[in-house]
Amino acid sequence: MDNAQEHIPLHDHKILVANRGEIAMRIMRACCKLGTAFTAIYTADDAASGHVRLARELGGEKSLYRVSSYHDANELMAVADAAGCTAVHPGYGFFAEDFRFARRVTKRDRKLIFIGPSWKIIRELGDKINTKRLARSLDVPTVPGSDRPIYDELEAERIAKTVFEFQEQQGIDHPLVLVKASAGGGGMGIEEVYDPDQFRSVYRRIRNYALRQFKDEGVLIEQRITDFNHLEVQIVADRSGRSPVHFGTRNCSIQSSGRQKRLEVAPGFAPEALSYTFDADRVLRDIVDYSLTMARKVGYDNVGTWEWIVTRKGDPFLMEVNTRIQVENGVSARIARVRGQGDIDLIAEQIRIGLGEPLGYGQADITFDGLGIEYRLIAEDPNNNFTPWVGHIEQFTWKPQPWLTMLTHVPTDEQYEIPTEFDPNLALAIVWGKDLEEAKARGLEFLRDLRLTGHNATGEPLQSNVDFLKTSTERILRF
């Protein structure tokens, strides 16, 4: 095990917070809770961000460094050494799922702990095809189709035929098969097939495209699922890798047109309040069990999220595993209790177990209470393809409530210029209610009381997704 080092108590560690904005702030606060020192970084563009201010407030000696870029690993390592850090927390995005970075951190001369799964696990689960193969070997359902690149036309046709047949058996009206270049990415070299007779010509086109573009003619064939809910399971495991637990499920089906999450709900379904065309309790139980089975198999040793597609028939398919803390971890923490105690902080748990502490509790100790909604407040125009909006924010206030948690890096007491280098995420608002109705009512109340105004350089008013979130609240957890 790479991270097996001699045991150092938490308060003798120092963590490099290798991220920005909201997540950097949550990591710093978690460090303070644990009594662990930290060092934060920022770029010239980001000097007005709340994470810089918080680092000055909470940080001790050598706790804030200006760097040239968050994407430069040399910069992070140099700061870690200069500040005397013992561990690196990558947050989400940037280096969070980069196994090469995680490996470098743990294997360099001055070794550091990577607060995340060990690099081998990131490498194993970061590869979607590999994850799919692993899932199948454990009888975990995955999207029907190939689990390796196909190079043979006859084999490709055989797979496409079974995928079409499978959908007919499922009673799907318009079966769709997806053909994609195995080496592709970012939406390049993907085509849908509506008609089995068209398959061969599409297959050849994609194969030739892949050979030209990626010098690899391998092609993947999958079922294209159009009518589904996006669920996920929060897994937490300590460095022993032997006893992973789950912190419940989340429903992340409300997304932008570019398939980015905008609203997350925990738990994943609400069968006591809404009726579903399938046994929702059973689906939630199944995806949790499948996720834990896989986590145990690979010896998963930090926090991670198993992402699932659930069809209208109630069939779950594993989509991918995110080997990092996610934006929406807070909504799961909000409804969770450990031995009856609330106020769970999954980021603090991640750091604690990442530094080698045992988890200290089992699944039986974790209970859930009520329902949480997380709203992602973003400066964007939902009516125009969610185009990001840039400008300065003049007023950003909300009414404090006992059931509301606001996570934001946007200062509320001075104007803030949205940096153009990053996505214009402004805040995460987590609302809790004892049941679906109460959570929805409180969510709407929060959105109604929110004041968010600003202007851009040409004097046009700020655009945000607040109205989109309001209308979306109505359809939470409905399928």
Partner 1 sequence: MLDISVVLDEIKAQPFREITIKTPHTGTVTFADIRQGDKVQGPQGQWKEKPGTLIATLERERNPKPIYAGEKGEISVLHTELEGRFVEAGTSLAVVRHPLTRAEVEHIILRKALYLFPAPERAKYYFTPDVDKKIRASDAHSVAVREGMELLIMSRMKREVPLHYSGPSGVIYSVYFKYNENIDAGSPLIGVCPQDQLPAIQDVIMRVQTEWTERD
The residues annotated as belonging to the active site are: 324
Instruction: Give the one residue of 27, 34, 77, 235 binding partner 1; rule: CB under 8 A.
Output: 77
The only residue of 19, 43, 131, 463 in contact with partner 1, by rule CB under 8 A: 43
DSSP string, 277-292: SS-HHHHHHHHHHHHH
Is 458 a residue that touches partner 1 (CB under 8 A)?
yes
| Cβ proximity of 443 and 390 under 8 Å | no
Which two structure tokens, joined as six digits, stand for 8?
Answer: 């150092």
Q: Which is nearer to partner 1, 43 or 146 (CB)?
A: 43
* Cα separation, 118 vs 112, whole angstroms: 12
Residue with tokens 């897994």: 235
- The single residue among 68, 213, 277, 471 that binds partner 1, judged by CB under 8 A, is 68
Smallest gap from Cβ 183 to partner 1, in A, equals: 23
* H or E segment to which residue 472 belongs: helix 466-473
CA nearest to 378, candidates 423, 413, 331, 444: 423
Minimum CB separation from partner 1 for residue 452, in Å?
18
Distance (Å, rounded) from C-alpha 82 to C-alpha 84? 6
Q: Does 67 bind partner 1 (CB under 8 A)?
A: yes
Indicate which single residue of 11, 71, 72, 205 sits in contact with partner 1 (rule: CB under 8 A): 72
The yes or no reply on residue 457 touching partner 1 (CB under 8 A) is yes
**Residue 162 contacts partner 1 per CB under 8 A:** no
Which residue of 8, 78, 138, 273 would you call a contact of partner 1, by CB under 8 A?
78
Q: Is residue 154 a contact point for partner 1 (CB under 8 A)?
A: no
Q: Which CB sits closer to partner 1, 154 or 457? A: 457
130/122 Cα distance (integer angstroms): 11
Residue 66 in the binding site for partner 1 (CB under 8 A) = yes
Which among 11-19, 290-298, 316-324, 383-391 is the span making contact with partner 1, rule CB under 8 A? Answer: 383-391
Using CB under 8 A, which of 1, 8, 82, 138 touches partner 1? 82
Q: CB neighbours of 148 closer than 8 A, spacing ≥ 6?
A: 129, 133
Q: Point out which span in 119-127, 135-143, 307-315, 386-394 binds partner 1 (CB under 8 A).
A: 386-394
Residue 65 near partner 1 by CB under 8 A: yes
Q: Rule CB under 8 A: is residue 55 a binding residue for partner 1?
A: no
Site for partner 1 in 407-436 (CB under 8 A): 420-424
Question: Considering the complex, what minimum distance in angstroms separates the CB of residue 457 from partner 1?
Answer: 4
Residue spans of alpha helices (H) in 69-182: 73-83, 99-107, 119-126, 128-137, 153-169
Taking the complex as a whole, the smallest distance from the CB of residue 59 to partner 1 amounts, in Å, to: 14
**DSSP label of 197:** G
Q: CB-wise, 65 or 479, nearer to partner 1?
A: 65
- Return the SS3 of 464: coil
Q: Please tell me the distance from the alpha carbon of residue 346 to that of residue 34, in angstroms, as a whole number.
A: 12
* By the rule CB under 8 A, 259 interacts with partner 1: no
Which CB, 281 or 421, lies closer to partner 1?
A: 421
Closest CA to 89 of 428, 350, 423: 350
Instruction: Of 323, 300, 305, 322, give the one whose Cα is nearest residue 243.
Output: 300
Q: Which stretch binds partner 1 (CB under 8 A): 28-36, 269-277, 285-293, 450-458?
A: 450-458
CB of 240 to partner 1, least distance (A): 32
Closest CA to 429 of 263, 252, 316: 263
3-state class of 324 per DSSP? Answer: coil
Give the type of residue at 134. Answer: L
**H/E run at residue 190:** strand 190-193
Measured from the CB atom, the residue of 48 and 366 that comes closer to partner 1 is 48
**Distance in Å, CB of 155 to partner 1, minimum:** 37
> Any idea what DSSP says for residue 67?
-
Among 213, 363, 387, 471, binds partner 1 (CB under 8 A): 387
DSSP, collapsed to helix, strand or coil, labels residue 257 as coil
Tell me: does residue 390 bind partner 1 (CB under 8 A): yes
Q: In the block, which residue shows the tokens 């190939």?
A: 146
Binding stretches for partner 1 (CB under 8 A)? 43-45, 65-69, 72, 74-75, 77-79, 82, 387-388, 390, 420-424, 456-458
